[in-house]
Structure 1
Amino acid sequence: MGRLKTLKLVLLHTSFNFLYQTFYKMFGPKKGRITLATMRSDQLNDNLKALHQGLLMTDINQIKIFCYHYDRTFSGKLGFLLASIKALYLIARSDVFVIDDYFFPLYAIHKHEDNQVVQLWHAIGSLKKFGLSLPDANQSVMRPHTNYDWVLINAKTDQRAYLDAMAIDEAHVLAIGSPMVDDLLNRLPQCNSAVRRILYSPTYRPGAQGKQQVMNYVKNMIDACQQLTGQWEIYISLHPYLKLTAMALPKNVHIFQDAEKVKTLMPTVDLFITDYSSLSLTFSYFERPILLYTPDYDTYMQTSGFYVDYYQYLKAPYFNQATQVVNYINNKLDHMDLSYVRHLKQKTFPHQDGRNTGRVVQFVKKLTRENNK
């Protein structure tokens, strides 16, 4: 890390903590207040959205919402600074502060015990390494995934990965289910007889070089898919942190950045393609084919890595060229044995009782001082 960047982080760390401590001393946590916060979207999605809907059905009347999407433009950086100050105020004022992803301002503060933080991770399952599992993360000025009091996850088998990625005690990582699974249980697979659908979701890679890499893979996939036999619609879901630029597309190709659209599309999709996205775990619920397009697997293993033996865990066919993917679709897709998908579904969804949201709502509610008189 360069000296200038380190200096900036030190200044942010000192300034953010000063602001948080000031807000805490001046106001302090408001009794019974629950704040749902995300810095990955301009609206609540997935687990936070389901939790919010569940909380509205209780007697809790102190619910605050904070959403911000950082787009890495100059105006976005200014907006991020202002949003971070607001977030620090909300942390100081909350009994319980619930997040669903990386949350930069939280890692700069010396948090007080009565501002309880719950991490309700946005993805189902654990495949690729993140957080403190990554090289040099522990040496960062802004050490990520710290200041959590509780981490709520989908399955007990994922606990070890979250312990490795986050600074949290084992007893405070609870596998009580992901609220967004309840919505998934209500989505039945749909058949498209005339036009079939592919959903392609490449994993985000940081930095300008990473962005170019992802877009190159997207272009390769678009070009290759023009050789598909039969009628296909291609939907490409890009990570919300990736800035999408205008590009000419074939009529059957659609690019978007919308988590809600992914959820709507999934039951209608005939084939899911990814490199390392945990959406493969979510999509396994529909028991439809999953293919892996992983041209940089060896490099990714060195720079990031996985919590599992990736290919062995998914058991999905994998390819390092987009043309190989399309050739497989044309010649073998309709004759695939989908037992690997059904097995993945069994591992991924231990809680299929429709009560995941209810368990999380009750847990969060019990953390507030209204219920600890």
Structure 2
Amino acid sequence: MFRPRAKRITFATMRNTQLVDNLKQLYDTFEKNGGYELKVFCFHYDRSWKSRLLFFWYSLTSVYYMATSHLFIIDDYFFPLYTLTKHRKNVVIQLWHAIGTLKKFGLSLPNADESVIKPHTNYDWVMVNAEDDRQAYADAFDIQKKRVLALGDPMLDPFVQVPIDRELEHKRRLLYSPTYRANNVAPVKAAVQAFIKAAATLTADWEIYISIHPYVNMRLDNQDLPANIHLFQDPGRVKQILPQIDVFVTDYSSLLLNFSYFERPILLYTPDYQTYIEQQGFYVDYFNYLKAPDFENATHLMNFINHNLAHLDLDYVRQLKKKNFPNLDGHNSDRVYQFLTSINRYGEQES
């Protein structure tokens, strides 16, 4: 019923109610240059019952955008795309929402073959940040390696405008960002509760931000929290405050690689490592690759911050930055834009 329009480009996500990160940066680049009909499709699927009911309607809407767009650009899992046979002139671009290759994702997951409908299909091109990432993404999305292009992640472009050195204020800022666990919110809740309780033992003056993954269906209530602890679920906000953070704490989130740009302390709080490695797995020898201080117990983590943080050698962070930031020129989005505008609906440029 519908055919792709040569100048229509749709930026689509089911991670958020607005464009953020790679999608937002690339959208702004297209808008700045002009000449295209830009469409935006956003729906935050959080696995709640309300979200599941709305999902059906939004899925139908997204199919219309897919059918009528020359370029359909996404940044994560996008279920409706995997259920159809798209027109050969619809070109689908996967930007993904994270950099690097730490935890396994996509078709590399241990239980990936259990899906009734095969996910991560219908991609024409995948954009990654570094040359070393290409093979892992090719495997995760079952796509030819030549279709995975290391042009740099657009969301990293603003980093080059942020000074690495930051004057320590009276109140220092700590960000704790636990990652998503498929269909199991219990470990996240337990870890967050233990973290909040242990944070009371911090001796210095800290502002603490706890960012819950957008796919975790977890009730957020800041009313009973201490005034210095801020609990939220907004991937746009977490990226916005990242440059102002003094210490980053996570379990397995690839956001730590983004944060490595600032050459500031990265600490690991991994109370469920053995379970996580069995259910999810990693592309790398996790602790050996990161070489970051690691804690299974939140109290031990806070004790380290109190007594050892000031003397921490940050060479391990600088090494992570060297591995994961091959492009520091602020032109990742321009490179992706130039490639996407060089392909057309009748023939594609080979790489």
For this structure pair, what is the TM-score category when the shorter chain's length is used for normalisation?
over 0.9
Look up the match of 1:52. 27
1:298 counterpart letter in structure 2: Q
Look up the match of 2:195. 221
CA contact (8 A) 2:220 2:231 kept: no
Equivalent-residue separation in structure 2 for 1:27 and 1:246 (angstroms): 42
- Equivalent residue runs for 1:42-121 within 5 Å: 42-121=17-96
CA contact (8 A) 2:89 2:346 kept: no
The CA deviation string for residues 329-353 of structure 1, in whole angstroms up to 9 with x for no partner, is: 1111000100000111111100111
Greater helix share, structure number: 1
Identity among equivalent pairs (%): 53
TM-score normalised to structure 1 length: 0.89
Equivalent-residue separation in structure 1 for 2:20 and 2:329 (angstroms): 21
2:213 counterpart letter in structure 1: H
CA contact (8 A) 2:72 2:91 kept: yes
- Equivalent residue runs for 1:206-245 within 5 Å: 206-207=182-183, 210-245=184-219
Structure 1 residue 371 displacement after superposition:
9.3
SS state at 1:95 partner: strand
Look up the match of 2:335. 359
Q: 1:313 to 1:253 in 2, by over 3 A?
A: same
CA contact (8 A) 1:147 1:167 kept: no
CA contact (8 A) 1:40 1:240 kept: yes
Look up the match of 2:230. 254
The CA deviation string for residues 234-256 of structure 1, in whole angstroms up to 9 with x for no partner, is: 11011011233143211111011
Structure 1 residue 314 displacement after superposition:
0.8
Structure 1 residue 58 displacement after superposition:
1.8
Q: Which stretch has the larger CA shift, 176-185 or 67-76?
A: 67-76
Structure 1 residue 72 displacement after superposition:
2.6
Equivalent-residue separation in structure 2 for 1:303 and 1:244 (angstroms): 20
Look up the match of 2:263. 287
Q: Does 1:339 align with 2:315?
A: yes
Q: 1:167 to 1:70 in 2, by over 3 A?
A: same
SS state at 1:33 partner: strand
Equivalent-residue separation in structure 1 for 2:347 and 2:107 (angstroms): 33
Structure 2 gaps of 5+ residues are: none
Q: Does 1:133 align with 2:118?
A: no
Look up the match of 1:199. 175
CA contact (8 A) 2:187 2:272 kept: no
Equivalent-residue separation in structure 2 for 1:104 and 1:116 (angstroms): 16
CA contact (8 A) 2:207 2:228 kept: yes
Structure 1 residue 153 displacement after superposition:
0.4
Look up the match of 1:326. 302
Q: CA RMSD in A?
A: 1.5
SS state at 1:32 partner: strand
The CA deviation string for residues 76-125 of structure 1, in whole angstroms up to 9 with x for no partner, is: 22211111001111111111111000001011112222111010011121
SS state at 2:42 partner: strand
1:304 counterpart letter in structure 2: Q
Equivalent-residue separation in structure 2 for 1:325 and 1:350 (angstroms): 31
CA contact (8 A) 2:90 2:345 kept: no
1:72 counterpart letter in structure 2: R
Structure 1 residue 370 displacement after superposition:
9.0
Aligned residues: 345
1:37 counterpart letter in structure 2: A
CA contact (8 A) 1:155 1:350 kept: yes
The CA deviation string for residues 244-291 of structure 1, in whole angstroms up to 9 with x for no partner, is: 314321111101112222222222211110000001100001100000
Equivalent-residue separation in structure 2 for 1:188 and 1:215 (angstroms): 34
CA contact (8 A) 1:191 1:268 kept: no
Look up the match of 1:312. 288
The CA deviation string for residues 124-169 of structure 1, in whole angstroms up to 9 with x for no partner, is: 2121001101123134222111110000000011112111211211
Look up the match of 1:14. none
SS state at 2:122 partner: coil
Equivalent-residue separation in structure 1 for 2:34 and 2:201 (angstroms): 56
Equivalent-residue separation in structure 2 for 1:75 and 1:206 (angstroms): 19
2:94 counterpart letter in structure 1: Q
Structure 1 residue 310 displacement after superposition:
0.6
Structure 1 gaps of 5+ residues are: 1-25
Q: Does 1:296 align with 2:272?
A: yes
Structure 1 residue 70 displacement after superposition:
1.4
Q: Does 1:268 align with 2:247?
A: no
Equivalent-residue separation in structure 2 for 1:128 and 1:233 (angstroms): 28
1:249 counterpart letter in structure 2: L
